[in-house]
Structure 1
Amino acid sequence: MKSQFVLLIIIAFLLGSCTVIAGDTSHWPASLTAVIVIVAFKLWNDRARLLAWPMEFLLAAGVTMIVINLGRLYMLPLPY
């Protein structure tokens, strides 16, 4: 139970940070994909014990959020 609460806090922190940096909620398509990947990675990490919980997992979740959002920005057409 405590582990899921910490995961919820991590996801809320990452989504809130993306919203503040973007200035709006235009990042949500990529962020939703990132949240799905992070939750799947958490379930896998609980079994495999690859990363320490929560600090190493927080780093991996942050990198996942950044890479998926940068991939989305790469696919968007330029505004000019």
Structure 2
Amino acid sequence: MDDKLREQLKFCRLPGIVECYDDILREARDNSWNHEQFFSNLVEYEVIMRENNRFNRLFKQAKFPNLKTIEQFNFSEAPFLS
């Protein structure tokens, strides 16, 4: 990806496409994708990245107490669970 395209994508706030562009371009060439398939995969990656970032942001904002694994759970404090 050239610098101009990278800057334009950053300006449009599309960091997922900036991140995955080279890998998806390589995969598109290897698999003979058409333009629509290539673009669709770029957009799909951007959407997935945004969903992951949103989840992580909301999870941090929730300020949940430390999560425990099943091995750390004290079943004696919850006798109705066995």
TM-score (norm 2): 0.49
Of 54, 60, 67, the match for 1:73 = 54
- For the aligned residues, what is the CA RMSD? 3.0
State the shift of 1:72 in Å.
1.2
Gaps of 5+ in 1: 20-30
Residue correspondence of structure 1 range 1-80 to structure 2 within 5 A: 15-18=10-13, 31=15, 34-49=17-32, 51-53=33-35, 55-76=36-57, 77-78=60-61
Give the paired residue count. 60
- The answer to which structure, 1 or 2, has the higher relative contact order (CA under 8 A, 6+ apart) is 1
Q: Identity rate of aligned residues, in percent?
A: 5
Query: 1:13 & 1:57 partners in 2: Cα distance?
Result: 18
Residues 14, 65 of structure 1: 8 Å contact kept? no
Q: Considering only CA atoms, is the larger Rg found in Structure 1 or Structure 2?
A: 2
